[in-house]
A = this chain, B = another copy of it.
Amino acid sequence: MTDYNKVDENIIQQFRDYVSGKVYAGNDINEDFFHDEMPIYGSYQPDVLIEAKSTDDVSTILTICNEHKIPVLARGAGSGLVGSGVAINGGVMIDMQGMNKILEYDLDNLVVKVQPGVYLHDLAEDCLTKGYMYPPDPGEKFATLGGNVSTNAGGMRAVKYGTTRDYVRAMEVVLPTGEVTRFGAVVSKTSTGYSLKDLMVGSEGTLGIITELTLRIVPQAKHTISLIVPFETLEDCIATVPVLFRAHLKPQAIEFMERKIIIASEKYIGKETFPKNIEGTDVNAYLLITFDGDNEDEIDLQMEQAAELLVENGAIDVLVADTPNAIKDAWAARSSFLEAIDSQYKLVDECDVVVPINKIAEFINFVNEAGEKYDFDVQSFGHAGDGNLHIYAVSNDEDKKEEFNKQVHDFMEEIYTKAYEFGGQLSGEHGIGHGKLQYMREFEGEINTNLIRGIKKVFDPNMILNPGKVVSVD
């Protein structure tokens, strides 16, 4: 075990003297900072919470922490789901939410420069006012962009537009030593040494702290249309997805969901949009599909082709949402799944495993069958267009938390084993954090895990930066 030092009064005074943002210590730290959106992974109090206002602040903090061998991590909105932004070793937490300026649009090069604490929602909205779109669209709109980049957040539109990685052109980074550097460039094409920028994307704040981002934007699509597609069985539902791709259709998003999660979510938001029974047939699964583009005729054509294929392949009906309000309603239930689950259950754990899209149906069946032998309930939904599945283990037996955790572990082992059999991976978009760390070596293998550890040590010789996330400390 690496020995870290404690933050003493002298060091706290250094932070107060040399950092421009506020410094909180001990009981002055708000408990919201002790966990992220998956509290099942534990509550951990940092010794100090510092609001960073500038790159200099971050550099000063890291220099001091590195000198004294104190664990330190950056935290965005705390909306993570694997415990990446949680101070499991105590030490210093840097709140990045104060660095929240959209700095500059460069519309010749189609990029925007932002500070890492800007919320996804704010950049997305701001881009639209200029006729542009920032395509990555994870479910949580009030995550910071720094957090999105650090997890390579995916979201709904990945099937057409790719993930956050595809929109990161360049970044300013403070290394664990306090040194400030830049990775990448404004340009769209580069082959200038190893891609340190791509190494940073998805590294969950373990290699350096991002203090500025240059992100790619695209012209806003002029037209959008959504389809709600009910099916009698989940199998029929998911089996249609490769059919759409083989027909060369290019949806912006394809989500699948089971009946019970829609019911829970509609109850949570207080509005019913999805049909539950059509002419005597119970609906047990849905696809929610969006097409976008600049040419209305082209989108209508794609929509018609899709509708025909969907019905041919077992859809009971195809409901079209083609006004902004109707589209918003169609997506409202989908956007509230996590909140709906949290509101219903006291114990919640989840995984965001990813499998090849032609294996989704088989995989979900496996998951549902495997789930039957455990005491908890299983709920699942996910990105049918890219195979990224959100599988929830939920229970209200709060007294049996330890047993719940044990059972969930066994369940996850089963799920991941099957996912890797199918050519999938542990996480599609949430990352590893410390919540999934125990599975890394087993599923990603000794060789790859050792390479990751080696790289971590190159960036962070004292292992002070967000230790115990992605890769174990020892």
Contact = CB atoms under 8 A, between A and B. Distances in A.
A2 interface: no
Interface string A441-474: 0001101110110110111000000000011000
A358 B445 CA distance: 45
Nearest to A355: B187
Interface residues of A, number: 83
A89 interface: no
Contacts of A301: 295
A166 B162 contact: yes
A303 to B, nearest CB: 14
Interface in A226-252: 242, 245-246, 248, 250
A383 interface: yes
A412 interface: no
A443 to B, nearest CB: 8
* Interface of chain A, main secondary structure: loop
A181 B445 contact: yes
A424 B426 CA distance: 36
Among A297, A358, A458: residue with most chain B CB under 10 A: A458
Nearest to A385: B188
Given A108-B246, A458-B451, A194 B185 contact: no
Contact of A458 (B165, B189, B455): B455
Interface stretch (A63-71, A266-274, A323-331, A428-436): A428-436
A356 interface: yes
B196 A452 contact: yes
A136 to B, nearest CB: 11
A361 to B, nearest CB: 11
Nearest to A152: B191
A199 interface: yes
A428 B189 CA distance: 5
Contact of A356 (B108, B154, B198): B108
Contacts of A202: 190-191, 193-195
B295 A297 contact: yes
Contacts of A448: 181, 183, 193, 196
Given A187-B423, A193-B444, A194-B207, 19 more contacts: A109-B357, A152-B190, A154-B189, A165-B195, A179-B447, A185-B425, A187-B428, A189-B383, A191-B431, A193-B202, A193-B449, A193-B470, A193-B471, A195-B199, A198-B198, A199-B455, A295-B297, A454-B459, A457-B458
